[in-house]
Amino acid sequence: MMSSSGTPFRLIHHRPEGRTAEASEMRGHTLRQAAKCIVVRTRTAGSPPRHSVVVVPGDRRVDLEAVTHHLGGDRTAFADQRTAERLTRCRSGSIVPFVFDQDLELLADPALLEPEEIFFNAARLDRSLAVAPADWVALARPLIRPVAQDDPVAVG
């Protein structure tokens, strides 16, 4: 398929699933190819907290210290589910690697750009998209910084 912007992608229908490992298995790709999206809150003294969608390969965890460093904050923590869903307009488990709210930033780990194709839920638990990382970067325009922990892990 082709998006309205001319970006090629594949739409994948599957049973509802928001856990990274299980969704990856259903879609038939490695965890490394999954774009796992986590909403975090970064605090800086004297300023209101900033929220970001952090995107890491599915076999990695978000490195909160690295996010804090790259955003110039004092402390970063995972956002609560209600805030994450409000800012992303997505149900937990279906958060997309895009931002549509001026109060959100988008950070992505460079390891996400290594596979030929990346996969993520399409704001629904029963639909996913597959797209070339370069095409995703051109559309989403994330800040690319090392924000994943070095030790691979298999987590949902």
Residue that the structure tokens 């809150």 belong to:
41
Q: Residue 90: CB partners within 8 Å, gap ≥ 6?
A: 96, 123
Q: Is the pLDDT of residue 51 over 90?
A: yes
* pLDDT at residue 107 in the model: 97
Domains of the chain by residue range: 10-143
Q: What is the pLDDT of residue 151?
A: 61
Q: What is the mean pLDDT of residues 65-72?
A: 95
What is the residue-averaged pLDDT of the chain?
92
SS3 state of residue 120: strand
Taking residues 64-74, report their average pLDDT: 95
CA 35 – CA 100 distance, rounded (Å): 17
Q: At 156, is the pLDDT very low, low, confident or very high (cuts 50, 70, 90)?
A: very low
Residue 155 has pLDDT above 70, yes or no: no
Kindly tell me if the per-residue pLDDT of 5 is higher than 70.
no
Q: 136 CB contacts (<8 Å, ≥6 apart)?
A: 35, 97, 118
Reported as a single tens digit per residue, the pLDDT across 114-130 is: 999 999 999 999 999 99
Q: Are the C-beta atoms of 96 and 37 separated by less than 8 Å?
A: yes
The CATH code of the domain at 10-143 is: 3.90.960.10
pLDDT score, position 4: 57
Is 80 exceeded by the pLDDT of residue 75? yes
Residues 6+ apart with CB under 8 A from 63: 146, 147, 148, 149
Distance, CA of 123 to CA of 29 (rounded, Å): 19
Quote the pLDDT of residue 103.
86
Question: Alpha-carbon distance 42 to 77, whole Å?
Answer: 7
- Which of 86, 103, 32 is CA-nearest to residue 95? 86
Give percent of the chain with pLDDT exceeding 70. Answer: 93
